[in-house]
Amino acid sequence: MLTEYILSQTAQNLIGSEIRKISGAINKRIEKGEKIFNLTIGDFSPKVFPIPLGLREEIIKAYCEDQTNYPPSNGVKITREAISEFLKERGGIDYKPSEILIGAGARPLTYSMFMAIVDPGDTIIYPAPSWNNNCYVQLSGGKGAPIETSPETNFVPTADSMKPYINEASLIALNSPLNPSGTAFTKDELRKICEMVVEENKRRGKGKKPIYLFFDQIYWILTYGEIKHFNPVELCPEIRDYIIFIDGISKCFAATGVRVGWAFGPQPVIDKMNTIMSHIGAWAPKPEQIGLARFLKKKDDVDKYFMNFKNELIKRLNIFYDTFTQLKSEGYKVDAISPQGAMYLTVKLELNGMKTPGGNILKSTDDVLKYVLDEAKTALVPFYAFGASKESPWYRLSVGTCSVQDAHDASIAMKDALHKLK
């Protein structure tokens, strides 16, 4: 006899990760022995991009010292102190250790932030495409106000695009450099958004729930060339009362599985997030926290790691960018945005209507995805997986798991596949 499992509305309605769904299907083909360039997931291959040797050694040392009991719920003190110093020295971001909350990566901190701020029915503004904001909106019982972005603004939302929703919203969720586009806010646009939030809160006055700015800067170390990451509080000091940052080591140290993230912001908000986190129990393991604190003190080692790491990422990104630029010059309806940050490249494959060697017409985004996968053995993620329109011809390409040789080989395969279309 089959049992009918009736669960909460949240559980029944919550959607899974489209990116992991796509990546999982690719991995099954790889496990069967198929050679595929998997450029889908925002992760790093430890064989290609290992974590810093010094960080690994310090974590092992902390385990050998038996630092394996519960950490304080808000994070080990020396780790919060080290993070405070790291933020100030490298980003001009001045927050006291007491204003920093450590968690097992950025995700539980993001969840606790949503739960601390959003009431059921509250409006949350976020860009589309963007990573998982729609899921956190659903988990918190909020009402999403996705802002469809465009290549004209490098898929970065503007203050003007948010204005129609600002009076009713309780939260704006932003990320820079942005996942999936790998693009970053300009100084002027970020200032405009911060000033808009401050002005809206002045309009609401005391006794009214303010609108907060959630600023995910998990990729902020990974910017390239003339692109700079800007500190919103430096651009608009008054935003400090209304902004909550999320950050961590998963991307800047290629440490996605090490699980140390942190949030920082107004003390009352951080304290409530800490209370929520204490019930979830999503603390970063104590040895990892202690190991990180010690490694951050080795500033020369950190500098050397960042320099090499960024050089290797931009090398791969430029290989793909140059390939798409060449294909565009040959008349193909493809494009790419010059690499700005993170490990992602935004690419365009407007191939609908073209005929494959087998005589099939590419009619949809999924048709294009399948053709590139089957013919070029290259897997990408469509922007619709991040909330963009199903018809969007834009895709995310991630280089975190590919070697330089893989990048060259995938680029050649992509060229060959497009040359076969009619």
**pLDDT at 250 > cutoff 80:** yes
Q: How confident is the model at residue 1 (pLDDT cuts 50, 70, 90)?
A: very low
Q: CA 41: distance to chain centroid? A: 11
Cβ count within 10 A of residue 315? 12
CB of 140 closer than 8 Å to CB of 126: no
pLDDT of residue 81: 98
Residues 166-169: contacts with CB under 8 Å, at least 24 apart: 166/125, 166/196, 166/197, 166/200, 166/211, 167/200, 168/123, 169/122, 169/123, 169/124, 169/125, 169/145, 169/211
CATH topology assigned to domain 53-298: Aspartate Aminotransferase; domain 2 (3.40.640)
Collapsing DSSP to helix, strand or coil, 396 comes out as strand
Residues 134-186 have pLDDT tens digits of 999 999 999 999 999 999 999 999 999 999 999 999 999 999 999 999 999 99
Note the CATH number of domain 9-49+303-419. Answer: 3.90.1150.10
Q: Report which of residues 26 and 374 the model is more confident about.
A: 374
* CA–CA separation, 62 and 292 (whole Å): 10
Residues 50-97 have pLDDT tens digits of 999 999 999 999 999 999 999 999 999 999 999 999 999 999 999 999
Domain boundaries, the chain: 9-49+303-419, 53-298
pLDDT of residue 6: 84
* Distance set, CA 245 to CA 2, 315, 326, 362 (Å): 46, 29, 39, 42
* Distance set, CA 148 to CA 143, 158, 345, 383 (Å): 16, 10, 19, 11
